[in-house]
């Protein structure tokens, strides 16, 4: 049984959405859907919360600025200027906190009872009343460094 002869494909690809034309001795890309020049740049990405997570150094003498967050400060957001010693202390406290959290998670793998303590702590911190009780002394501590208070 003989095969029928193959047909040649004569279809063409669809026309391009963009075309390049010369306007005033410059090449311009035209969007054929809108009939106007294509956008020069893409739209900017939506703004995100870009405040630094810790104190950001602002001077050679060690001063730093801390932008607070509502998670731990009742008066957030506010900018606090910290001296060198306080900025260093805050960085050390943050590093120790992260290290303690990592150590607790690793220890929970080997001690399942510790996992229950971590889950209980996470649930307690999710409670708005508990968070408010923790935020109150932190806000009072941060008030000492707020130079904008009247």
**Tens of pLDDT, residues 71-129:** 888 998 888 888 888 888 988 999 999 999 999 889 888 888 888 888 998 898 889 99
Start-to-end CA span in the chain (Å):
99
**Confidence at 48, pLDDT banded by 50, 70, 90:** low
Cβ contact 51:77 at 8 Å: yes
Measuring CA to CA, how many Å separate 22 from each of 28, 34, 36, 132, 145?
6, 18, 14, 64, 61
For the chain, the structural domain boundaries read 56-127
Cβ contact 68:76 at 8 Å: yes
Cis omega (within 30 of 0) for bond into 77: yes
């Amino acid at each position: 049984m003989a095969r029928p002869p193959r047909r040649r494909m004569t279809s063409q690809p669809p026309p391009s959405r963009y075309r390049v034309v010369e306007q005033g001795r410059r090449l311009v890309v035209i969007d054929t859907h809108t009939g106007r020049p294509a956008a020069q740049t893409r739209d900017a990405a939506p703004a995100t919360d870009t405040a630094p997570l810790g104190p950001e150094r602002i001077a050679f003498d060690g001063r730093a600025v801390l932008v607070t967050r509502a998670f731990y400060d009742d008066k957030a957001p506010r900018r606090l200027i910290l001296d060198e010693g306080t900025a260093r202390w805050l960085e050390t406290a943050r590093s120790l906190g992260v290290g303690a959290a990592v150590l607790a998670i690793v220890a929970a793998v080997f001690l399942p009872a510790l996992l229950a303590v971590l889950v209980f702590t996470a649930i307690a911190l999710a409670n708005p009343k508990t968070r408010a009780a923790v935020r109150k002394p932190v806000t009072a501590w941060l008030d000492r460094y707020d130079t904008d208070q009247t």
